[in-house]
């Protein structure tokens, strides 16, 4: 692991439907059966909340969502050694992410993975408690932390 490399500034989105389930999708570029929530880099001096809504639109074809919560702090993960130097132009050791919880305001038929730069090949709604078991192992601690922090929101209403 190259400790001298910085973390990539990024956002993550826990998108909840009206039933409190979380949007997850399978990446196009991985052979493993892993599902993840939308996430992506922050552009320049972009505000994290704006980056989160932009990433949602870029990755799932809609940003029909309202922010209902966010992490007060930033959560980081390191890439496995075999990926350092191969992703993000080799400039980063992992990501430092600001996570947002959003309530989806649209309908399932508005979700379209066939975006300008597709990242996912399939999607589904999943129970929040199942998230840590669905993600690649190096991101699992972040997903466990998110479930711990935001589990009460899974039972919230659309009006929260």
pLDDT tens track of the chain, all 160 residues? 567 899 999 999 999 999 999 999 999 987 778 899 999 999 999 999 999 999 999 999 999 999 999 999 999 999 988 888 878 888 999 999 999 999 999 999 999 999 999 999 999 999 999 999 999 999 999 999 999 999 999 875 545 4
**Could you give phi then psi for residue 103, rounded to 5 degrees?**
-95, 125
Q: Is 11 helix (H, G, I), strand (E, B) or coil?
A: strand
Tokens of 148: 């711990």
With respect to residue 160, please indicate whether it lies within any of the assigned structural domains: no
pTM of the model: 0.92
With respect to residue 38, please indicate whether it lies within any of the assigned structural domains: yes
CATH code, 105: 3.90.79.10
Count how many domains the chain has: 1
Task: Give me the domain span that covers residue 66.
Answer: 7-153
CA angle, 42 then 76 then 34, to 5°? 90
With respect to residue 2, please indicate whether it lies within any of the assigned structural domains: no
With respect to residue 118, please indicate whether it lies within any of the assigned structural domains: yes
């Amino acid at each position: 692991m190259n400790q001298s490399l910085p973390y990539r500034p990024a956002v993550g989105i826990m998108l909840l439907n009206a039933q409190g389930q979380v949007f997850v999708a399978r990446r196009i570029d991985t052979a493993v059966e892993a599902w993840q929530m939308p996430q992506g880099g922050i552009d320049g001096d972009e505000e994290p909340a704006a980056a989160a809504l932009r990433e949602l639109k870029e990755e799932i074809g809609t940003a029909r969502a309202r922010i209902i919560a966010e992490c007060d702090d930033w959560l980081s993960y390191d890439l496995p050694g075999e990926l350092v130097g191969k992703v993000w132009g080799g400039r980063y050791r992992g990501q430092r992410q600001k996570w947002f919880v959003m309530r989806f305001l649209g309908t399932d038929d508005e979700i379209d993975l066939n975006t300008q730069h597709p990242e996912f090949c399939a999607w589904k709604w999943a129970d929040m408690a199942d998230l840590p078991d669905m993600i690649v192992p190096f991101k699992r601690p972040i997903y466990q932390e998110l479930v711990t922090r935001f589990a009460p929101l899974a039972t919230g209403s659309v009006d929260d």
